[in-house]
């Protein structure tokens, strides 16, 4: 395969992944108590009833994924200063997208001094860096982009995470999701393969447990066993989301319903699952009303 053809294939896979990530994010957001009480949400998810709201808005998961894809579009790789600035400007333009506490601390500083991202990222959470799920939630398009080069997937995922998540767990979560998206784009998504390429961490341990969990397990039980993002940590978020994607590698809608049934940090788990599965499937098979209700993506990334 020529380099140009590989680049085109990677860009197309990343676009598919981004569309699925944004759809999962906006779909998952519908199930928070802000929009419906937990009992109603549980009943609607179990009955697979499409959320009735006319507009499904995406959150920081998609906003940061857009910044990452823009940097890949411009440079063909992660350039960390530019990525730091892209994240910071996205936050500055629209800080009410649901960013976490750490990002509200970090990103305004990066608007002013993007070159100091290594220092600022390490300072978070008492000098330990963030072990949250934020690097994982945005990274699936990167894995899709580099799907033809497994070593590059890992290296670039690490670089993308370090800008905001200096803790090894935050980085491991990003690597796992990027690897899963790359495998999905090639039609080879499997939990054992994701485990094998994820750094030693609690996230890897959770993925190893997920690899032993039969796909016949009820999603709510799987989320109880693996975590559903309620603690906003990578190790509490990534294993269940990747398990859901591997359970339905060729069916984006089924994968999103499975993930939603776990509740928790449901916009983020659905964003991760959506980004992984759509790296292979795209969103063409998604019911038209879902795509019509999802907030459009800006610029050339958008479908409409």
Q: What pLDDT is recorded for position 37?
A: 87
Q: How far apart are CA 199 and CA 264, in angstroms?
A: 25
pTM of the model: 0.96
- Name the nearest CA neighbour of 263 among 296, 236, 303: 236
Instruction: Please give the pLDDT value at position 96.
Output: 97
Q: Which of 302, 290, 273 is nearest to 20 (CA)?
A: 273
- Residue 197's pLDDT is what? 98
Residues 6+ apart with CB under 8 A from 179: 143, 150, 153, 154, 157, 193, 194, 197, 198
DSSP string, 7-43: HHHHHHHHHHHHHHHHHHHHHHHTTSTTTS-HHHHHH
Q: Check: CATH 1.10.4080.10 for 3-301?
A: yes
Tell me if 20 sits within 8 A of 252, measured CB to CB. yes
* Distances from the Cα of 78 to the Cα of 7, 25, 82, 156, angstroms: 15, 23, 8, 6
Packed helices 234-247 and 168-185: angle between N→C axes, nearest 10 degrees: 10
Residue 215 tokens read as 């796909």
CA 220 – CA 212 distance, rounded (Å): 16
Torsion 219-224-226-232 (CA) sign: positive
Q: 């294939």: which residue's tokens?
A: 9
Tens digit of pLDDT per residue, the chain (304 long)? 444 555 899 999 999 999 999 999 999 999 987 788 888 999 999 999 999 899 999 999 999 999 999 999 999 999 999 999 999 999 999 999 999 999 999 999 999 999 999 999 999 999 999 999 999 999 999 999 999 999 999 999 999 999 999 999 999 999 999 999 999 999 999 999 999 999 999 999 999 999 999 999 999 999 999 999 999 999 999 999 999 999 999 999 999 999 999 999 999 999 999 999 999 999 999 999 999 999 999 976 544 3
- pLDDT, one tens digit per residue, over 54-93 is 999 999 999 999 999 999 999 999 999 999 999 999 999 9
Instruction: Identify the helix (H) or strand (E) that includes residue 140.
Output: helix 140-145
Taking 3-state DSSP, the helix, strand and coil percentages for the chain, each rounded to the nearest 5, stand at 70, 0, 30
Per domain, the residue ranges of the chain are 3-301
Tokens of 12: 């197309």
In angstroms, the CA 298 to CA 302 distance is 5
> In Å, what is the CA distance from 171 to each residue of 47, 97, 164, 242, 299?
36, 22, 9, 16, 29
Residue 2 is predicted with a pLDDT of 43
Q: Select from 200, 190, 194 the least CA-distant residue to 249.
A: 190
Q: Do 276 and 242 form a contact (C-beta atoms < 8 A)?
A: yes
Which pLDDT tens digit goes with each residue over 133-177? 999 999 999 999 999 999 999 999 999 999 999 999 999 999 999
Residues in CB range of 253: below 8 A, 6 or more apart: 285, 286, 287, 290
Closest C-alpha among 170, 190, 178 to residue 151:
178
């Amino acid at each position: 395969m020529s380099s140009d053809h590989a680049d085109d294939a990677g860009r197309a896979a990343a676009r598919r992944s981004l569309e699925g990530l944004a759809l999962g994010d906006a779909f998952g957001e519908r199930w928070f108590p802000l929009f419906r009480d937990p009992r109603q949400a549980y009943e609607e998810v179990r009955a697979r009833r499409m959320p009735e709201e006319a507009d499904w808005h995406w959150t920081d998961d998609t906003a940061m994924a857009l910044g990452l894809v823009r940097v890949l579009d411009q440079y063909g790789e992660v350039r960390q200063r530019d990525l730091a600035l892209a994240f910071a400007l996205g936050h500055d333009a629209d800080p009410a997208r649901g960013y976490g506490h750490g990002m509200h601390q970090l990103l305004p500083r990066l608007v002013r001094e993007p070159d100091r991202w290594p220092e600022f990222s390490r300072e978070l959470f008492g000098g330990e860096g963030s072990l949250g799920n934020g690097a994982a939630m945005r990274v699936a398009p990167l894995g899709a982009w580099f799907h033809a080069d497994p070593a590059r997937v890992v290296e670039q995922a690490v670089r993308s995470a370090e800008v905001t998540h200096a803790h090894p767990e935050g980085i491991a979560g990003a690597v796992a999701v990027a690897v899963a998206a790359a495998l999905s784009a090639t039609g080879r998504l499997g939990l054992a393969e994701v485990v094998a390429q994820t750094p030693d961490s609690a996230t890897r341990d959770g993925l190893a447990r997920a690899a032993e969990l039969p796909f016949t397990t009820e999603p709510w039980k799987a989320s109880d066993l693996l975590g559903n993002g309620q603690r906003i940590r990578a190790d509490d978020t990534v294993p269940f989301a990747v398990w859901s994607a591997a359970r339905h590698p060729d069916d984006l809608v089924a994968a999103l319903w499975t993930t939603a049934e776990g509740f928790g940090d449901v916009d983020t788990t659905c964003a991760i699952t959506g980004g992984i599965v759509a790296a292979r499937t795209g969103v063409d098979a998604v019911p038209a009303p879902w795509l019509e209700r999802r907030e459009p993506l800006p610029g050339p990334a958008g479908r409409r």
